[in-house]
Structure 1
Amino acid sequence: MHLINTKVVQPAQEFAVRLEDRLYVDGYPLISELDAEEVIQDYLKKLQDEGFDVTREMVPKAPQNMYNPKKRKSKRKADTQEDQV
């Protein structure tokens, strides 16, 4: 039973995922106060060399999007609690 007509369209460009894409936003690496001091200074120097007016106060205190996965309860612990009841 064929309810939906499908048409496969090939993308204009080959799709590729690169690890570097995750480390950069709009072509610039993510940086915060949690990074080493020399890394922060080097990053600010590169931005100033490119013509951007940046100061040390513009560096955020922490990364904007920190990945916090949900913590799961272990099955083993849940099973032992049921046995005790």
Structure 2
Amino acid sequence: MQITAIKPYPLKAARDIFVVKVETDEGIYGLGEGGCSSRELAEAEAVKHFSRFLIGMDPTRIEHIWQKCYRSNYHEGGRVLTGAISA
């Protein structure tokens, strides 16, 4: 199984939320929620950055994916990046 698409959805509601949909080549998808209040658009851009190297990876290797995302930037961590990774 491989990741084929990662789609960020910053949503405005009673509370601003951030949802990510991860799709696979087997038709299975997962939804995740992350968030850093009022930073949803920045998190969406971070997810777009991550998707460049996550597409093609095995979605069951969660720890590996987390480490790849966390270490992919010069400035590790921070509220926006960790919010995007958590989704």
TM-score between the two structures when normalised by the length of structure 2: 0.23
Considering only CA atoms, is the larger Rg found in Structure 1 or Structure 2?
1
TM-score between the two structures when normalised by the length of structure 1: 0.23
